[in-house]
Amino acid sequence: MSKCCKSYRKRLEPHVLESLDLYIWQDNNSEIYDKLRSSNKLKEALEFLKTDLGSKLKFVKNFTLNCDIDCSFAEIFIELLPNIKTLSLSGAGVNICCLGEGLTAILKGMKRLEYVNFYQIDDAISRYTTDTKLFPKSIKSFKAWFRDSPAYSEDELGFYNTIDASYINLNSLTIISDIMLKNLTCGMPNLQKVEIDYIGDMDASNIVSFLKANSHIRKLTTIRFGDYNEEIFNAILSSKCLEYWCIDDTGFNEIEVYNLRSNYSIKYLEIDCSVPELLTLKIINACKNLKILDCMKYGTVKKLDLSKIELKINILKLSSFLLTIDDINGIDTSNKFNQIHIYLINPNEEFINEYNIGNPKNYKVIPYTPISCIRKLINKND
């Protein structure tokens, strides 16, 4: 190998080895993996990793694990990869997975861990334990997702409920329980990005208290909020720092919202199709400095009376899925947007040629560029 090739490989290796995924190794070595798993020797998979990479393990910063880990696996994992920055753990498909002491061992051993991503991982500890700090204080981000609400006995505490205001380095967080809300109502000065996933019982007053105590948050996503009330809406809209708000997968119950506060900080609003039309319009009109309205998840905008939008918005984002000529004509007639960005679900040339957006009166169509996968319409009056 030439000196040039060796030099290039040396520079490339740290980037290639930065992220490793046990699922990929499992897929590529399915027979070996199944034998190790059935004989409770999955830790030996790490020996293969050590043999293959040796000293190059120092380049690994991000690791994705599945739920087949125990204490012996955790001990070797920590020894081989003590400098992991990002740890991702995933359950078995749609099923919630509990890792037991293996999870505790890994979390307590990763002293430099900064980013934690959990999917369907639901472990519990005793409510009466004296050592409730499972996560290292170094973490900057905790992201979690559950399909359904976890269930615990009276003497159990979900592992995520151990996160409290002492984790001062957190700048991004998923909140999935009422206990977490109460733990953080004294304020988290470095917190910038928050997801509140309403998968269990959350007290509206605790949501409001959390939002008021952390009014410096810049990005907020509210998920599965079927029981919004006017007080929660106004707590969000009263923020002077919030720039991005995503209302996702709500399953809204019928609620009455009469008076929404005006907000002058929100620039980007992403809204789901489950939000009722009247409420959607009220939220849009409450955001007085809105620059981008993201209806990518709306499927279609035909249920919205766009003429009732009170402000001129710079960009409307849409998906080409279910978007019709009638929708385009309605947007054109409203003339409420400076630009329309239509994200194509099928960016191949044949689809682009067949995709017809008609001849809008107030907008000119910008030639499509394959790199962006976006069809743009620009207001002729701007």
Q: What is the DSSP letter of 159?
A: G
CATH number at residue 100: 3.80.10
Pairing of strands 363-369, 374-379: antiparallel
Q: What is the DSSP letter of 166?
A: T
More confident residue, 268 or 133: 268
- Give 7's pLDDT tier (boundaries 50, 70, 90): low
Six token digits for residue 110 = 């990763």
pLDDT at 198 over 90: no
Six token digits for residue 291 = 């620059």
- Give 130's pLDDT tier (boundaries 50, 70, 90): very low
Place of tokens 């980007």: 268
In a domain, 374, yes or no: no
Note the pLDDT of residue 22: 83
Note the pLDDT of residue 146: 77
Six token digits for residue 320 = 């080409």
- Give 335's pLDDT tier (boundaries 50, 70, 90): very high
Note the pLDDT of residue 24: 83
Of 284, 325, 322, the residue nearest 300 (C-alpha):
322
Distance CA 269, CA 283 (A): 9
In a domain, 238, yes or no: yes
The arithmetic mean of pLDDT across residues 360-369, rounded, is: 83
Around Cβ 145, how many Cβ atoms within 10 Å? 17
Of 41-55, 85-99, 268-282, 304-318, highest mean pLDDT:
304-318
Residue 219 phi, psi (nearest 5):
-130, 125
Note the pLDDT of residue 50: 86
More confident residue, 102 or 131: 102
Distance CA 315, CA 181 (A): 34
Contact, 309 vs 316, CB < 8 A? Answer: no
Instruction: Give the SS3 label for residue 269.
Output: strand
Beta partners for 246? 221, 270
pLDDT at 298 over 70: no
Note the pLDDT of residue 48: 84
Q: What is the DSSP letter of 13?
A: H
The arithmetic mean of pLDDT across residues 190-204, rounded, is: 88
The end-to-end CA distance of the chain, in Å, is: 58
In a domain, 203, yes or no: yes
Lowest mean pLDDT among 149-153, 157-161, 203-207: 149-153
* Total of domains in the chain: 1
Q: CB-based contacts of 176: which residues, under 8 Å, 6+ apart?
A: 144, 146, 160, 197, 199, 200
Contact, 113 vs 87, CB < 8 A? Answer: yes
Of 224, 178, 181, the residue nearest 199 (C-alpha):
224
In a domain, 378, yes or no: no
In a domain, 351, yes or no: no
Residue 155 to residues 124, 125, 151, Cα–Cα distance (Å): 10, 9, 12
| Domain carrying residue 48 | 3-339
Tens-place pLDDT, residues 36-84: 888 878 788 888 888 888 888 888 899 888 777 777 888 888 888 888 9
In a domain, 44, yes or no: yes
- Biggest alpha carbon–alpha carbon distance for the chain: 73
Tens-place pLDDT, residues 210-253: 999 999 999 999 988 766 788 999 999 999 999 999 998 766 66
pLDDT at 128 over 50: no
The arithmetic mean of pLDDT across residues 8-18, rounded, is: 72
In a domain, 362, yes or no: no
In a domain, 100, yes or no: yes
H/E stretch holding 45: helix 44-53
The arithmetic mean of pLDDT across residues 348-374, rounded, is: 70
Note the pLDDT of residue 131: 58
Residue 139 to residues 15, 20, 107, 112, 213, Cα–Cα distance (Å): 22, 20, 10, 8, 21
H/E stretch holding 144: strand 141-145
The arithmetic mean of pLDDT across residues 365-374, rounded, is: 73
Of 31-45, 151-165, 244-258, highest mean pLDDT:
31-45
Residue 348 to residues 33, 206, 313, 371, Cα–Cα distance (Å): 39, 48, 30, 11
